[in-house]
Structure 1
Amino acid sequence: MLKFENCKIGHERILYEIPELELERGEFVALIGANGSGKSTLMDALIQGKFPNGKVSIEGRNWNDLKLLERARQITLVDNHFLGFDYLKVTEYLELGRHSYTNFTGRLSVEDQKIVQKYSETLHLDSLLQQSTSTLSDGERQRVGIAKALIQETPIILLDEPTAFLDYPTKKEVMSLLGNSARESKRLVIIASHDIDFCIEYCSRILIIEKNSKILKSYQTITHNELVKKAFGI
């Protein structure tokens, strides 16, 4: 589905390389590396469609050639800064996830509304829907951001530290939800995370930006100690 060939990731300098990698629908993938290694840089490049070095393709189409609306229907990002939109009602923020599917009026169809309701219930947001986004706690914002990504129903979902502000039970619930969503909806879900034990437990594949080689490598199975050594050089 999503294929990388001879890619070099970085802006002013190359942070690491992806010689060859292909990710498929239905996979729940963890991207792991030290702080500053380039996890967010890769996600930003995917969202912006900018890969000057190497080739990235989706279903055989060059990623750089996709127009903005086409990318919006293929990929969505949940970052850990809540991407603005303060002072909207939570329900209004969630509805933004359907706007790439609406016509020129921007009105949601009955089906769109059902999708918003479905994921609001799944993420236990019913009590927050009429609340201002500016009043949410960090954990509530994280759940709202994840819900919006699921509402967008893109084939690829990127999440930057999706469990960072969550308590232990909610972390397990969110990781299970993302894994189930990937498998049942045949989506590719990629998370950048430092919760490595949760990633080992729930993810079907681990991508590691290896500290020494500066190469992104893929592992179907790996132990905690092996992962720490490769990603952090410890």
Structure 2
Amino acid sequence: MSQIAWLGPQDPFPNPLFEDDPDPSVPGLIAVSEQIYPGQLARAYQQGIFPWYSDNQPILWWSPDPRMVLKPDEFKCSDSLRKIIRAFCQHAQSQIVVDGDFGAVIRSCATSSRKDQDGTWITHEIIDAYTALHEQGNAHSIGVIEDGQLTGGLYCVAFGGMVFGESMFSRKTNASKIALAALSSWCLANQVSMIDCQQETAHLLSLGAAPIARQVFLEQLQISVNQTKIETSWTFDKTILHHWL
């Protein structure tokens, strides 16, 4: 059994497509670093690796097996959610805002309580790192606005033709589902074949996500990230939701 690698600023990640987990007692843990170094987060995503850790821990880098993914055409839009989406679209004071305030969305994800997990892994360092990705055009936010208030949303990462869902939040019941429905519809319109959801939760299962083998995920990832960057700009509004009506 090899040791889990401690990465310096220029050290490459172990490639989980070709290498086994270094410590089978911690499945999916690929590497550790003291901090998120410049450029490291972008390199990680393009290899199917993401950071997940808590305050007072080093940066833990993961590539789990199996991998949770949502195929956009398999998003479960229940009858009750369809009614909610219809009412949202008909309400004059409701909006879907893309990249309107990335910071507000990621901070809301960090502070929101949720059944399956909490947001404590979204540390100040994580917020800074993903904000830098956003400024480079590789991270995006979808905000659900109702009567001038941010009621829910999500943020995600995108490279090539691949979208990685990160975290969602709701201040109003089903607001995060509206955001995910909007992202799924946009992905369908832009030939994005899957949204990475990283790890299994009951909430994601209820929305149509499913686990696939890491090998399958990583092989599809390499095809997707090497595609030409999605040409359509990340600019859409609530009319994207009409797909589900």
TM-score (norm 2): 0.32
Richer in helix (by share): 1
TM-score after normalising by structure 1: 0.33
Instruction: Report which structure shows greater RCO (CA 8 Å, sep ≥6).
Output: 1
